[in-house]
Structure 1
Amino acid sequence: MTEAPPTPTPPRFETVPHSGERLAYLAVEGRDEGPTLVWLGGFRSDMRGTKAEVLSALCEREGLPFLRFDYSGHGGSEGRFEDGTISGWTEDAAAMIAARTRGPLLLVGSSMGAWIALRLAQRLPGRVRCLLLLAPAPDFTTRLVEPRLTAQDRAALARDGFIAEPSPYSDQPTVYTRRLIEDGAAAAVMTGPIALDLPVHVIQGMEDPDVPHAHALELVSLLPSAGVTLTLVKDGDHRLSRPEDLQRMERAVLALLGEGAASA
């Protein structure tokens, strides 16, 4: 007899004060007072993706606290995706961290989540001890989306307030709103040196069709030279979810935990 797949753990909900919306989250309590790992997912992703599940299992094994959640308009959270902005999703993350964590933090940001992780590290310098950035896409609205907009796209943004493109990851199109793009310019972090005094590990696939590895190289050039590690995966894609990619992520987390403890 084939065993039924395990029933997913139902989410819990936290009402965040800046919007009044209920955001879905899952947490591992941990056995000690070590750093809390916080998963910051990508654009249109949710907290039940492969990498987040692997990190949750790692934290269960290591006795580490772990928090993952869905931004407004993502996954099981309230809100409309089309109303979201980088600033709004950063506020979601800051509110969830304030409500559901204490002590030092290791932020793991994937794609857009890396942008949010960098902004949080700037806001919470006393708490964020280290960063793991996977296929990081900070400033993607101005650096990756806007340069490829056609005249028709720009006209649609001005007329309709959004454009929709086919997505390689979903049956639903990817929507970019004028509000998202305008806010992205205001929330940019790659406008000059990024002053962060903490260990950072960047993992980037060289076959990533969405975020070229040159983007990761430029990001690293803006980070302080001390304590920054860049791993280029020659055949890696944007998801970085193959078994070897997941093992690489786990090793990076454990290494960063050691570095963060040493620098505390």
Structure 2
Amino acid sequence: MTVRDTAYPDGTPCYIDLMVPDPRRAMDFYGALFGWDFADQGDEAGNYLLCSVDGHLVAGLGGSAPRQEAPAVWTTYLATSDVDASAAGVSEAGGQVLTGPLDVLTEGRMAIASDPTGAVFGLWQAGRTVGSQLTDAPSALIWNECLTRDFDAARAFYERVFGHATQLLDDEDVTYATLLVGDRIVGGLGRLPDEVPADVPPHWMTYFGVTDTDAAVARVTELGGSVVAPPTDSPYGRMATVADNQGVAFSVITVAAEPDPDRR
């Protein structure tokens, strides 16, 4: 378990949020699945909801605009100490700035962008809100990875814009690299397998920790969600990919229930 109250290093996945047509349905689903508490930020913030576990912020949830063409997704935000400079860097490196940069009241400054391969992500400059306060724990963010069909282009982009070092896995069956900030692994970058349908766009995938992956998948279906990829064992824990009751995909992976004090 990691609890943070200071800004994340630049280039680190630091926050996630979900914008969906029906926030109430999302509250029912994620509240039942993860035991999240929700705090409405009021009319000034568009009734955006902060999701927390034991008083620690883990994610955000809001309503998408009517007739919004973009699909509902979990958005991964990468930390930056200067969102305007990072947004300029996105454009210079062949990406696209889709929204912002703009201030979020006094909480921080943000933008939404896409890399040259089409994977959408956010930029977050900490203000009063540093990002997710609790990670590496059940019901909280565990891992973020970018999956794309043009691995080399995406790799060059994230190295240039965020200074990520990339370390390829020694596996002939997959093309995958870890993203490092300094000497710390912060996320992953992989090539979408050929068997993935062509209509699945490049994307950032969010992983949540659970104490029992099989039980979590069963609970997802009870709550009106669906299974995208059934539970399977990996060197990092038992994992699965599912979709919520509004069709938004995410992954779950088994983590230890007891906190590790050395990671605080």
Give the TM-score of the pair, scaled to structure 2.
Answer: 0.32
Higher relative contact order (CA 8 A, sep 6+): 2
Higher strand share: 2
Q: TM-score, normalised by structure 1?
A: 0.32
